[in-house]
Amino acid sequence: MSQQIVKQRSRGFICVNAHPAGCAKNLEDQIAVITANRPASIDGPKNVLVVGSSTGYGLASRVAAAWGFGAKTLGVFFEKVPEGKRTATAGYYNSVAFHRAAERDGLWAKSLNGDAFSDELKDQAANIIRDEMGPIDLVIYSLASPKRSDPRSGQTFSSALKSIGETYTGKTIDLGSGAVTEVTVEPASPDEIAQTVAVMGGEDWQWWIDKLLSEDLLAAGARTVAYTYIGPRHTWPIYRDGTIGAAKDHVKQTSDALNERLRDAIGGAAYVSVNKAVVTQASAAIPVVPLYISLLFRVMKQKGIHEGTIEQMRRLFFEHLAADVEPTVDASGLIRIDDWEMRDDVQQEIAELWPRVTTENLGELADFAGLKRNFSRLFGFEVDGVDYDLPVETESLL
């Protein structure tokens, strides 16, 4: 056991440590959003697998399934465990907090900390589902990773966040200094595009579903959902029309193919949900996006429609994934919980602010302070109600 005072340590914008009590408080706040807004008679999936369940949209999905529907959840993630004085990663402490809260509230939960891309981890998950859970009725696929080791070819792929075809120059925030600067991104090579699709495309999602189908571990009518982002035009050169967009096109193609297979095999379905831009470790890595998010936060907060991951997942689970509810989809078959972000009045205001925003007026035109605070909160820092002068147990284990 190791009690210590944990102060935030950052490298640029990213924290290199995490605070267990702050992560636990964040988790309780997410649970409160779900339980306070839970419709009285709602029912939903009871056996849920979440791949990428320790942070961001995956963690919020797991909370929504467990506290929204009383579901048993199996969570899969890849996080560093604590070692002596070195804290674990935030996702690990989030998961410790999830297990404690689940046990307190009588909810079954199990987690696997390892590489979701590997065959071994899929085998371990299948064993737990077969022996302890019973057939899964919802699979959420919410991985975000810079690398993937392909167990079949033995190759390791790396994703690149680049434009395709042309060099892109655009506005961005230097997250360390808070300066609004220009970033130039060279176009990706064909190999970089292919590797990004291999990491963030749909192949591994398909392998998870193949595994569960082949071992008869999906319930009749089971659904699976993966997440994507579309966003407005000024982010397209780097997102939708860039390497990550190519990977997300592959996720959509995979979804269409999986949908047919699941329908024919078990009367099930596959969907892609378009989620709004939020602050996560993954989204910070994409140039241009943090500047856009800080403008988006300001406009959506002013309009009283600001949402974080848990508010988004509350809408996804209660309005689209509840029992006997058919998800509402757009003309392309996508679930659109980015609808408030994409509202004309929201996007028009951002389009007006975008050319005007500079280092000097960033604090006034954009919610940069909100973005920064959200970032610290991802690691359990700057969380209301946590006393950072008190020692905490950092070696808590799952």
Residue 40 CB coordination number (10 Å): 4
Q: Which of residues 279-318 bind ligand NAD (CB under 6 A)?
A: 280-283
Residue 52 is a binding residue for ligand NAD (CB under 6 A): yes
Q: Which candidate in 239, 271, 292, 388 is catalytic?
A: 239
Among 90, 102, 139, 143, binds ligand NAD (CB under 6 A): 143
Q: For the window 76-95, what string marks contact with ligand NAD as x by the rule CB under 6 A? A: xxxx-----------x----
The candidate with the shortest Cα–Cα distance to 122, out of 211, 200, 203, is 211
In single-letter form, the type of residue at position 58 comes to G
Give the number of other CB atoms < 10 A from CB of residue 360: 10
Minimum distance of ligand NAD from residue 277's CB (angstroms): 4
Q: Does 229 bind ligand NAD (CB under 6 A)?
A: yes
Binding status of residue 376 toward ligand NAD by CB under 6 A:
no
The minimum distance between CB 140 and ligand NAD, in angstroms, equals 9
144 binds ligand NAD (CB under 6 A): yes
Q: Is 55 in the site for ligand NAD (CB under 6 A)?
A: yes
357 contacts: CB under 8 Å, gap ≥ 6: 171, 180, 291, 295, 365, 366
> Rounded CA gap, 218 and 237, in Å?
38
Q: Which residues are CB-contacts of 332 (< 8 A; sequence separation ≥ 6)?
A: 252
User: Does residue number 145 form part of the binding site for ligand NAD (CB under 6 A)?
Assistant: yes
Complete DSSP assignment for 336-366: ETTTTTT-HHHHHHHHHHTTT--TTTHHHHS
Residue 30 touches ligand NAD, criterion: CB under 6 A? no
Please tell me the distance from the alpha carbon of residue 284 to that of residue 321, in angstroms, as a whole number: 28
Least distance to ligand NAD from the beta carbon of 3, Å? 26
Binding region for ligand NAD (CB under 6 A) out of 70-78, 176-184, 320-328, 388-396: 70-78
Cβ-based nearer residue to ligand NAD, 128 or 265: 128
CB of 259 to ligand NAD, least distance (A): 18
In angstroms, what is the minimal distance from the CB of 268 to ligand NAD? Answer: 20
Query: Judged by CB, which is closer to ligand NAD: 72, or 276?
Result: 276
| C-beta of 44 vs 52, nearer to ligand NAD | 52
Q: Is the distance from CB of 55 to CB of 76 less than 8 angstroms?
A: no
Written as six digits, the tokens of 76 are 């899969």
Beta strands of the chain (E only): which ranges? 3-4, 10-11, 14-15, 47-51, 72-77, 109-113, 136-141, 147-149, 156-158, 168-174, 179-185, 218-228, 269-274, 335-336, 392-393
Chain positions 165 to 204 lying near ligand NAD, rule: CB under 6 A, are none
Closer residue to ligand NAD, CB minimum distance, 227 or 368:
227
Per the structure block, which two tokens stand in for 330? 């757009």
Q: Is 239 a catalytic residue?
A: yes
**Residue 80 is which amino acid?**
K
How many residues are there in the chain? 398
Q: Which single residue brings its beta carbon nearest to ligand NAD?
A: 56
Cβ pair 375, 22 in contact under 8 A: no
117 binds ligand NAD (CB under 6 A): yes
Report the nearest approach of ligand NAD to the CB of residue 342 (Å): 12
Check binding of 227 to ligand NAD (CB under 6 A). yes
Q: In this chain, which of 30, 54, 224, 259 binds ligand NAD, going by CB under 6 A?
A: 54
Give the residue numbers marked as catalytic. 239
Footprint of ligand NAD (CB under 6 A): 52-58, 76-79, 91, 115-117, 142-145, 227-229, 275, 277-278, 280-283
